[in-house]
Structure 1
Amino acid sequence: MIEVNGLTRTYGAHRAVDNVTFRAEPGRITGFLGPNGAGKSTCMRMMVGLTPPTAGTATILDRRYADLPNPGRHVGVLLDASAQHPGRSGREVLTLGARTMGLPRQRVDELLEVVGLTDVEAKRQVRNYSLGMRQRLGIAHALLGDPRVLILDEPANGLDPAGIRWMRSLLRGFADEGGTVLLSSHLLHEIEVIADDLIVIGRGRIVAHGTKQDLLATAGTSVMAIDNDRLAAALLAEGISVEDAGRRLRVDAEPVVVGRVALAHGVVLTELTSGSAGLEDMFLQLTAADAREGVAA
C-alpha cells in the first residue's frame, strides 16, 4: 500500500505540490493523471526519497521508502527509462541491480524473458536501445526484486501497440496477485482500460480521486447523432440534462437511457460511449486551467 498525507513541495514562492493526500491500495491499479507540470512526477520523486518534501509524508508498506530494508525488494520504481547508463548493456544493468539487492544471477535471465528482451538485445549497449526497449528494461529492473509495490511514471511511452497490451497484461496480473500499482500516464485510453482507481492532479492539487467507475459515472455519456439538435430536444423533453460539446453532446444519463430516447424519437445515433470519451472529457474539464495547448500529458 502507498499512503500520502499532506505532501507538499515548494520552490521559493512556487508550490509545485500542494497538500496532496491519497492512498493506493493492494490488489488495485491506481491511475495518476494530470497535465505536464501538474506535479505528478514531483509527487512520485518524493514518494521514493529523490526529492525531499517541504511538508507532509509518504509511506510505502507503512514505512518511508528510505527506511525500507533493501527497498528494491519491496518497491519497484520506474521514473525515467532514459536514465539508464548508456554505456552498459541491458544485462549489465540488471546484473548490477541483482547484486545490489542480493539476488541470484538467474533472476536476470528470468526478467529478460518476462519483458521480452532477447539474448542478443540484452548484450547490446543501452545507448543503442529504442525508447520502447528502454521501457522494457526499466520495467524489468522494477520487477527484479519481486516487489509488492510498483511506482511507474509513463511506462507505456515508446511502446508499440503490442508492447502496450503486454504491459497491460503484466500489470493486471501483478495487481490480481495482491500487488499495489501506481501508474502515471498521458495515454488516457490505457488508463481507462487498466485502472481501478483514478487520481487527477492539477496545479499541484488533487482535483478528483475515486474509483474509475464512480468518476466516470459522474462524467456521464458522450453521444453523437445525425441530428444532434433533434436528439438534444428529445432528451430535454425527457428531463435529461444535455451539454453541447462540439460535435458531440454530453448527457447526464446512462448510455442505455440515451439509446432508448433516441429510438423512441427516431433519431439515428452515430456514436454512444461512456468509456474513454467520458474520461477524456472529465480530465480536460478538471484540468483546463493547467492544460497546455489542449494536450493532455
Structure 2
Amino acid sequence: MIMVEHLTKRYGPHVAVDDVSFHCEPGTVTGFLGPNGAGKSTTMRMICGLTPPTSGNAAVTGRRYRELPNPGREIGVLLDASAQHAGRTGREALALAARTMGVDRGRVGAVLDQVGLNATAAKRRVGAYSLGMRQRLGLALALLGDPRVLILDEPANGLDPEGIFWMRGLLRDFADRGGTVLLSSHLLREVEAVADRVVVIGGGRVVAAGGKDELLAGAGTLVRGRDPHALRLTLDRVGLTATAGTDGGFLVRAEPGAVGQVAADAGLVLTELRPAGNGGLEQLFLTLTAGASTKEAVK
C-alpha cells in the first residue's frame, strides 16, 4: 500500500505541492493525473525519498522509503528513463542492479524477456537506445527485485501503440496478482483502460480522487450555452457548483434535468447538455484542471 498524508513542498514562496493526500491499495492501478507543472513528479519524488517534503508524510508498505533496508526488493521505481549510465549495456545495468539488491543474476534474463528486450538489445550500450528502449530497460530495473509496489512516471513515453498495449497488460497483470501500481501518464485513454482508481491534481492540490467508475458516474453534467457568462451567473444564483472547462462549457454537480430546468427558467439557450461521464476520463480531466497548466506557467 502507498499512503500519502498532507504532503506539501515549498520552494521559497512557490508552493509546488499543497496538502496532497491519497492512498493506493494492493491489487489496484491508480492513475495519477494532472497538467504539466501540477506537482505530480514532485509528489512521486517525495514518496520515493528523493525530495524532502516541507511537511506531511508518505509511506510505502507501512514505512517511509528511506527506512526500507533494501527498497528495490519492495518498490520498483521508474521516474526518469534517461537516468541510466549511457556507457553500460542494458544487461550490464541490470546485472549491477541485481548485485546491489542481492537478487539472483538469473532474474536479469527473466526481466529482459518480460519487457521485450532481446539478446541484441541487451548487448547494446544504453547511449544507443531509443527512448522506447530506455523505457523498457527502466521498467526492467523496476521489476528486477520482484517488488510488491510499482511507482511509474510516464512509463509509456516513447513507446509505439503496440508497446503501449503491452505495458497496459503488464501493469494490469501485476495488479491482478496483488501488486500496487501508482501510474502517472498524459495518455488519458490508456489510463482509463487500465486504472481502477484515479487521483487528479491541479495547481499542486488534489481536485478529485476515487474509483474511476465512481468518478465518471458522479461527474455531474456538462453544459454549454450561447451566452456562457449569463449561464454561469444563473448557475451561481441558484447555488449549483460549476467548474469552467477549456472550451466555454461548465461541469455542474447536478443531474442534467435539474441543470436544463434552471436554464429554461432563465430563458437561456443551451447548445449542449449531457452527463459528464459520457466524455470519459479525458473530458473529466480537462474540466477539473481547466487553466491549471497556464497558472503554473506564469507563477
Give the structure-1-normalised TM-score: 0.82
- Do 1:31 and 1:191's aligned partners in 2 also have CA atoms closer than 8 Å? yes
Aligned counterparts of 1:33 and 1:140: Cα–Cα separation in 2: 23
Deviation of 1:218 (Å): 2.3
Q: Which residue identity is paired with 1:251? A: R
Q: Which residue identity is paired with 2:85? A: H
Aligned counterparts of 2:33 and 2:273: Cα–Cα separation in 1: 22
Deviation of 1:222 (Å): 7.9
Deviation of 1:104 (Å): 1.3
Deviation of 1:281 (Å): 1.6
Query: Any gaps of 5 or more consecutive residues in structure 1?
Result: 224-237, 254-272
Listed as ranges, the matches of 1:248-287 within 5 Å are 249-252=272-275, 274=278, 277-287=279-289
Query: Any gaps of 5 or more consecutive residues in structure 2?
Result: 224-255, 264-270
What secondary structure is seen at the aligned counterpart in 2 of 1:66?
A: helix
- Do 2:37 and 2:293's aligned partners in 1 also have CA atoms closer than 8 Å? no
- Do 1:221 and 1:278's aligned partners in 2 also have CA atoms closer than 8 Å? no
Deviation of 1:289 (Å): 2.5
Aligned counterparts of 1:180 and 1:31: Cα–Cα separation in 2: 11
Deviations 1:215-240 (A, max 9, x none): 111235889xxxxxxxxxxxxxx946
Check if 1:8 corresponds to 2:8: yes
- Structure 1 residue aligned with 2:92: 92
Deviations 1:88-123 (A, max 9, x none): 111111011100001111110000000010111101
Aligned counterparts of 1:157 and 1:26: Cα–Cα separation in 2: 25
Aligned-residue sequence identity (percent) comes to: 65
Q: Which residue identity is paired with 2:40? A: K
What secondary structure is seen at the aligned counterpart in 2 of 1:215?
A: helix
What secondary structure is seen at the aligned counterpart in 2 of 1:35?
A: coil
Pair 79,56 (structure 1): closer, same or farther in 2 beyond 3 Å = same
Q: CA RMSD in A?
A: 2.0
- Structure 1 residue aligned with 2:209: 209
Deviation of 1:292 (Å): 4.3
Report how many residues are paired.
254
What secondary structure is seen at the aligned counterpart in 1 of 2:32?
A: strand
Pair 250,84 (structure 1): closer, same or farther in 2 beyond 3 Å = farther
Q: Which residue identity is paired with 2:272? A: L
- Do 1:240 and 1:251's aligned partners in 2 also have CA atoms closer than 8 Å? no
- Structure 2 residue aligned with 1:169: 169
- Do 2:203 and 2:293's aligned partners in 1 also have CA atoms closer than 8 Å? no
Deviation of 1:30 (Å): 0.2
Deviations 1:118-171 (A, max 9, x none): 111101011111111000000000000000000000001011111011101100
Check if 1:36 corresponds to 2:36: yes
Check if 1:198 corresponds to 2:221: no
Q: Which residue identity is paired with 1:291? A: S
Q: Which runs of at least 4 in structure 1 moved beyond 6 Å after TM superposition? A: none
